[in-house]
């Protein structure tokens, strides 16, 4: 059971309408959003921020944004967000070889140097203390413009919020996310952990 009980999807009509966005990205409305709607202003602001951050305005693809989210979530240890991010990467067209080898992005041939720079940025920005430095900046600027770097940091920052929300909340993970987590991350030891619905 999570720290706070998720509310019914019909609890707040405006949240429900905004949350249709997640039917595309994940195939379901996340329990995290259903919990946020205890204060509907938070659930609505979160969904609108999510939509803005995930909008494509440059070369950063939807699939790469979700892989950036996965690296960030892996760095912080949030199993809920790891599974959500890999599921969304799959649904947004990440190459099968990338999904199967996300843990080896630094060395695997399925990833380009531009993608490696973006994913290393995600890893450095998600660490405490923060590890973004001149080398990370220089590598980013070889492949990406400032607007695209802002898009990437938007994803990293959004998932910083989500990692803290879901790991503190012990959000119960949805079956679809479990399937994706087990398929792509299980061989590396991924499991539900505190998100199995019985932690608190």
pLDDT tens-digit series, residues 151-195: 999 999 999 999 999 999 999 999 999 999 999 999 999 999 999
The CATH architecture of the domain made up of 13-195 is Up-down Bundle (1.20)
pLDDT at 2: 82
**pLDDT band for position 81 (cuts 50, 70, 90):** very high
Q: Would you give the end-to-end CA distance of the chain in angstroms?
A: 6
Note the pLDDT tens digit of each residue in 93-110: 999 999 999 999 999 999
**pLDDT band for position 199 (cuts 50, 70, 90):** low
pLDDT of residue 80 exceeding 90, the answer is yes
Note the pLDDT tens digit of each residue in 3-15: 999 999 999 999 9
Burial class (CB in 10 A: 0-12, 13-18, 19+), 182: middle
Q: The tokens of 127 are what?
A: 């660490």
**pLDDT band for position 1 (cuts 50, 70, 90):** low
pLDDT of residue 76 exceeding 80, the answer is yes
pLDDT of residue 118 exceeding 70, the answer is yes
pLDDT of residue 197 exceeding 60, the answer is yes
Q: Within a 13 Å sphere around the CA of 39, how many CA atoms are in the beta-carbon half? A: 5
């Amino acid at each position: 059971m999570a720290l706070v009980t998720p509310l019914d999807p019909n609890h707040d009509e405006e949240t429900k309408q905004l949350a249709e966005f997640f039917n595309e990205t994940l195939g379901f409305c996340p329990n995290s959003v259903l919990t946020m709607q205890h204060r509907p202003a938070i659930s609505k602001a979160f969904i609108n921020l999510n939509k803005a951050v995930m909008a494509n305005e440059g070369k950063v693809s939807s699939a790469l944004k979700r892989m950036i989210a996965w690296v960030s979530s892996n760095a912080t240890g949030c199993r809920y967000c790891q599974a959500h991010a890999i599921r969304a990467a799959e649904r947004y067209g990440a190459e099968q070889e990338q999904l199967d080898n996300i843990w080896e992005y630094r060395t695997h041939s399925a990833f380009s140097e531009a993608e490696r720079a973006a994913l290393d940025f995600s890893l450095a920005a998600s660490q405490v203390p923060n590890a973004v430095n001149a080398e990370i900046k220089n590598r980013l600027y070889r492949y990406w413009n400032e607007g695209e770097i802002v898009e990437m940091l938007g994803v990293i920052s959004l998932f910083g919020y989500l990692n803290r929300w879901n790991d503190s909340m012990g959000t119960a993970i949805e079956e679809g996310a479990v399937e994706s987590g087990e398929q792509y991350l299980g061989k590396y030891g991924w499991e539900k952990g505190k998100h199995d619905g019985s932690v608190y």
